Amino acid sequence: MDNPLLQQFDLAPFSKINNEHYLPAITALIDVTKQEVALITKNQDTPTFKNTVEALENTGKALDRATSIFFNLNSAETNDQIQQIAQEVSPLLSNFSNDLLLNQDLFKRVKTVYDLRQTLTLSDEQQMLLEKQYKGFARNGANLSEEKKIQLRSIDTKLSKLGLRFGENVLAQTNAFELLINKEQDLEGLPEGAKEAAKQVAAEKGKKGWVITLDYPSYVPFMKYAQNRALRKKLALAFGARAFKNKPQNNQQNVLDIVKLRHQRAQLLGYESHAHFVLEERMAESPQKVHAFLNELLVKARPAAQKEFDELEAFAKKLDGIDQLQKWDSAYYAEKLKQKKFSLDDELLKPYFKLENVIQGVFTLANKLFDLEFKEDPTIDTYHQDVKTYRVVDTQGALVAIFYADFHPRAGKRGGAWMTSYKPQQIIDTPDGKGVINDRPHISNVCNFTKPTATKPSLLTFSEVTTLFHEFGHGLHGMLANTKYKSLSGTNVSWDFVELPSQILENWCYEKQTLELFATHYKTGEVIPMELIEKIKASATFHEGMQTLRQLSFGMLDMAWHGSDPSNISSVKEFENGAFGDTVLYPENPNICMSTAFSHIFQGGYSAGYYSYKWAEVLDADAFAYFKKEGIFNKKVANKFKDFVLSKGGTQDPMELYIKFRGQKPNPDALLERAGLV
């Protein structure tokens, strides 16, 4: 019992946990959860909602807390030892999950309640819990023969290991590359802040000169501003070749193994493909609807994208005599063209977007819309000194959530940005059984923004500002959760609905009323000039056609991998090229591959779901149009959004919730109009 993960705790006891604690704790807590489940299956009473469905929902709480801490740190603060433990822990958890979902006695009890559902007096939330629980069993093999259940277990164990290995390879390849620059002339065009950051990275690595890495805060500025085309090419090829071709961490076979196993799994469960299996439980419902949705957008976006590309290529030729635009030219010339068209340079904007000010800005927005106050509390335990912690309270001072903010890159942290949870929201009975407690959630945002240097604070690009708002939108979805059951709480919603709260929040970044709340010059304190705000708004749809095409290409690649039988695929690269189809603008390069580092679909939860970013854009454009009509800080609209979207989690059908908020189904034209595609 000296293991902190086996003791009672509310806040995650990060500083007390050693790597040696994880495996024994998770093993012990799997046994505890099995005992909790056994109490349900051995119950001689007739199965009821309370003694079966609700009882099952309340199992495994300690196990969930321990595994959330472990896997969150495997993403945000990992090391070789944690990665090794993950390879041991994942099969244990996969087997345990199978033990649960293939437990015939447990399934019989749940099915008994499910078959009687029409005769029971259940709330909407209880009905949803019962339906999700029953489908959880039925969709994961409960009705299979014993022989097929053994096959399913084997597939799930292999998949759990392959997903981890895929992510480890991408991280290792990202960390392994560095571009050491010794001549300052090779940094021509790079902003002073980016130069200083590169010099700092070099010093940290014990080297002279400047080091550019594949971490976004280092990679993106170099690709956008560095005049040295040969070095941009070198960097782009390194980024595009992560875990591809002849390297120790090669993901090509992992990709093929993952998609083949997912297909076998779907077939075993009676589905045509992995996409058919996944989409049955999404708003989109079927691969056919997803393909129709993506192709409809492709028809609208392709002409605009081609026009933008032709203009960019002509611009590059006129400026520098570039005959054929390559992928490593895209960001560089796009930035030059944007500056020419709008007299807008990210470097002009960055001084107004000091990280601490942007954080305060998003907190102020949450206060104006949802009456939340964020109080920094450095006494809350963290896993790294970069992490800031807050108590989130309402107007009465009552705790709404704990919020962890982790915003800078480091070697043990995967790239990108995400929201996660260390503790779910749920309503639980008091110890005396006479009342209830609304147990509040612990939410985290993790990003990779430029670190402060000796002379400058962390200054964000406008794109990074929207990223911060995006992840904070997910955070609000978690923080404002208000449901009885943890499995239906917060972001536990249909995957193509989960991006609505995040994507809608990005819209406020373009509004004068919002920018004036936080966009002040880090040296002078001057509020961002109206002229720059107008330029931000004017440039909002710059290259929207090309951006849309890029997102559609990712969605189509995902659906290609997961929408049909992959048994005969032998070349990852050839298959990928075919999947991209009409979305391609730049010349094909044999040395880069998207799939081998496409962590969203091969390590994260977006398999057969990447389309949901665009799907949710339709929702967010339509929803924000409502805010614009009534006022972007309108409390009535904000309260409806909180009451029917943010707080309800997965307790009701997402389209029903959206209609309750909006008063109508989403109008796709809102997205096309905002994007300037109609």
Cα–Cα distance measured from residue 640 to residue 655, given in angstroms and rounded to the nearest whole number: 15
Say whether domain 4-143 belongs to CATH 1.20.1250.20: no
CA-based nearest residue to 167, from 255, 70, 286, 61: 255
CA angle 119, 121, 126 (to 5 degrees): 110
Task: Please give the average per-residue pLDDT across 252-259, as a whole number.
Answer: 98
> Residue 544 corresponds to which tokens in the numbers above?
């929207």
Cα–Cα distance measured from residue 359 to residue 365, given in angstroms and rounded to the nearest whole number: 10
Cα–Cα distance measured from residue 225 to residue 235, given in angstroms and rounded to the nearest whole number: 13
Q: Rg of the Cα trace of the chain?
A: 25
Given a cut of 90, whether residue 393 has pLDDT beyond it is yes
| 439 phi and psi angles, rounded to 5 deg | -75, 115
> Residue 341 corresponds to which tokens in the numbers above?
């068209």
Sequence ranges of the domains in the chain: 4-143, 177-240, 292-317+543-558+576-674, 350-538
Q: How many residues are present in the chain? A: 678
Q: What is the CA 119 to chain-centroid distance, rounded?
A: 40
Tens digit of each residue's pLDDT (9 = 90 or more) over 478-513:
999 999 999 999 999 998 899 999 999 999 999 999
Given a cut of 80, whether residue 572 has pLDDT beyond it is yes
In the structure, what pLDDT confidence band is assigned to residue 1 with cuts at 50, 70 and 90? low
CATH topology agreement for domains 292-317+543-558+576-674 and 350-538: yes
List all residues 6 or more positions away from 220 whose beta carbon is below 8 Å from its beta carbon. 331, 461
Tens digit of each residue's pLDDT (9 = 90 or more) over 39-69:
999 999 999 999 999 999 999 999 999 999 9
> Residue 399 corresponds to which tokens in the numbers above?
């705790």
Cα–Cα distance measured from residue 415 to residue 243, given in angstroms and rounded to the nearest whole number: 14
Q: Where is pLDDT greater, at 136 or 668? A: 136
The reported pLDDT for the residue numbered 458 is 96
Amino acid at 447: C
In the structure, what pLDDT confidence band is assigned to residue 126 with cuts at 50, 70 and 90? very high
Task: Please give the average per-residue pLDDT across 377-388, as a whole number.
Answer: 98
Indicate which residues carry an active-site annotation. 471
Q: Which CATH architecture has domain 292-317+543-558+576-674?
A: Orthogonal Bundle (1.10)
CA-to-CA dists, residue 292 to 288, 387, 456, 654, angstroms:
6, 43, 48, 20
Given a cut of 80, whether residue 232 has pLDDT beyond it is yes
CB atoms within 10 A of CB 620: 23
In the structure, what pLDDT confidence band is assigned to residue 673 with cuts at 50, 70 and 90? confident
The reported pLDDT for the residue numbered 257 is 98
CB atoms within 10 A of CB 493: 23
Given a cut of 70, whether residue 37 has pLDDT beyond it is yes
CATH for 350-538 is 1.10.1370.40
Task: Please give the average per-residue pLDDT across 666-676, as a whole number.
Answer: 85
- State percent of the chain over pLDDT 70: 100
Tens digit of each residue's pLDDT (9 = 90 or more) over 58-98:
999 999 999 999 999 999 999 999 999 999 999 999 999 99
Given a cut of 80, whether residue 655 has pLDDT beyond it is yes
